[in-house]
């Protein structure tokens, strides 16, 4: 197994373009499937549509197979074990929020995206999505300034509380808000185990061993294991906020170099959405509760 790290320098520009193209393809798949969703469709059916859409367009493997969460499951309420993350028979209803999440692998390149939406009308969801905009700016600013991942996580947490919401990425295994991605090269056969591609799992475990030798981690959480600045490379970042029984998030690649940090792509659905709307200030729980 080998995992080729991409650092965002000039020599890897073509590779960054390949990661960007796959990320665009993954978001396109989520968007195309989102417009096909109708009352009564299940999470499993939505996830299946995403998988078929991407495999028809050259995806050969998965970091993880597609997820879909409907209703209160978008906020991970009462999630206690990893099996609860997998798609279920929950059926979509009018006005219900949803999150579509997929992590395809094509020619060794990896993308991991999260797409938030709703069926019909949902003004509260719009408000949460507007407030999520501030997190994208905060994260890249803090990483660029050289803060530790632990401190950036805590800054995101503080902003979530200031907005009157609660942190839902803390429910993910390891409480992670992000993880490193790179080009996967492996001689193992392509196979899926518990929703994850074994080639990608091999890469992740290899990265864990290597990074721990340098007192770092490829997983970004709020514990002491993340008390170091972001390692140069690519990070799939997914701030996930919740209010009552609703959660929203985005997930996209952040490029970190030895002296800079930037989002890989400024032409993504949530970024385009924010570009068409007036900037909003930090919300309060009272304002949100009456939205």
Q: Tell me, what's the pLDDT at 281?
A: 42
Please give the pLDDT value at position 196.
Answer: 72
> How far, in Å, CA of 160 to CA of 98, rounded?
20
Give burial (CB, 10 Å; 0-12/13-18/19+) of 228.
Answer: middle
User: Which tokens go with 89?
Assistant: 């028979």
How confident is the model at residue 230, as a pLDDT? 96
pLDDT at 188: 72
Mean pLDDT score of the chain:
89
Is the alpha carbon torsion for 107, 112, 262, 171 positive or negative? negative
pLDDT for position 185: 74
How would CATH label the architecture of 2-289? Alpha-Beta Complex (3.90)
State residue 211's pLDDT score: 59
**Which regions of the chain are under pLDDT 50?**
1-3, 10-11, 280-291
pLDDT at 278: 57
Delimit the domains of the chain by residue range: 2-289
> For residue 216, what is the enclosing H or E element?
none
């Amino acid at each position: 197994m080998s995992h080729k790290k991409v650092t965002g320098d000039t020599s890897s520009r073509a590779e960054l373009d390949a990661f960007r193209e796959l990320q665009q393809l993954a978001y396109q798949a989520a968007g195309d499937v989102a417009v096909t969703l109708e009352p009564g469709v299940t999470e499993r059916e939505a996830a299946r549509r995403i998988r078929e859409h991407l495999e028809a367009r050259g995806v050969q493997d998965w970091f993880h197979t597609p997820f879909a969460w409907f209703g209160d499951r978008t906020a991970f309420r009462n999630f206690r074990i990893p099996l609860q993350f997998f798609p279920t028979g929950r059926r979509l209803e009018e006005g219900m929020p949803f999150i579509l999440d997929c992590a395809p692998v094509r020619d060794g390149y990896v993308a991991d995206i999260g797409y938030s939406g709703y069926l019909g009308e949902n003004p509260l969801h719009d408000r949460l999505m507007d407030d999520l905009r501030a997190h994208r700016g905060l994260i890249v600013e803090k990483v660029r300034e050289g803060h530790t991942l632990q401190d950036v996580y805590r800054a995101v947490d503080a902003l979530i509380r200031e907005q009157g919401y609660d942190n839902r990425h803390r429910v993910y295994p390891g409480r992670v808000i992000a993880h490193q991605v790179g080009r996967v090269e492996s001689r193992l056969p392509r196979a899926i185990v518990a929703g994850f591609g074994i080639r990608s799992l091999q890469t992740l475990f290899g990265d864990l061993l290597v990074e721990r030798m340098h007192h770092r981690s490829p997983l970004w959480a709020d514990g002491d294991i993340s008390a170091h600045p972001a390692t140069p490379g690519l990070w799939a970042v997914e701030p996930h906020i919740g209010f009552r029984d609703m959660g929203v998030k985005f997930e996209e690649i952040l490029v970190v170099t030895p002296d800079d940090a930037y989002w890989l792509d400024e032409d993504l659905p949530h970024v385009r959405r924010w570009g068409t709307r007036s900037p909003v200030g930090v919300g309060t729980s009272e304002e949100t509760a009456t939205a």
